[in-house]
Amino acid sequence: MKKVVLFASGSGSNAEKIMRYGSSKSTFEVMSVFCNNPKAMVLERALHNNVPTVIFSKDDLNSGVLINKLRSLNPDLIVLAGFLLQLPAALIEAFPNKIVNIHPALLPKYGGKGMYGKFVHEAVLNNKEVETGITIHFVNELYDEGEVILQKSIAVDDCTTAEEIATKVRALEHEFYPKVIEQVLIH
């Protein structure tokens, strides 16, 4: 069975879908959830799914402490699921082509520093886009610029609020992210 480590900062709805998908398919197991926010809902979701957690600081991330923890776990894949900090180059270099992320837009549109969650959906709404979607990609040193694994689009021309867009995009995330993780691990 393949081993996955999740990195998350917030509510963890994607992380929970991934934990449940992995345990139901027996293809991969989420070994741990790494979180930089001790108040994040993802920690409760991990507890309910019997997944150990690691809470860390930005200093831990940038000092190399996490690289050593990750090496001891030897994950087949590191999955960013609502993780908001930029990974340091040393961590990316330690796990080449083993880190994936999901972005709530069709990159390269609405990507880069500060473009996450509601900020993306508000920009999509304000620019009167007729469609948006998700991009699942490998992580490199630049925000949202790694090699694209999958993009899926959805019509949003009927949406009048950023929340309506977020709901549609979240449904795509929940449907496709666990499956793509499985595919990346198999190949």
Alpha carbon distance 110, 119 (integer Å): 9
- Among 103, 121, 137, 174, which one carries the catalytic annotation? 103
Neighbours of 152 (CB within 10 A): 15
Query: What are the angstrom distances between the C-alpha of 112 and each of 21, 50, 84, 178?
Result: 29, 33, 11, 23
Other residues' Cβ atoms within 10 Å of the Cβ of residue 94: 17
- Residue in the block written with tokens 């920009």: 123
Q: Could you tell me which of 58, 42, 33 has the C-alpha nearest to residue 10?
A: 42
What is the spatial distance between Cα 75 and Cα 3, in angstroms, rounded to a whole number?
5
48 is catalytic: no
* Residues 154, 172: Cα–Cα separation, whole Å: 8
Catalytic residues: 103
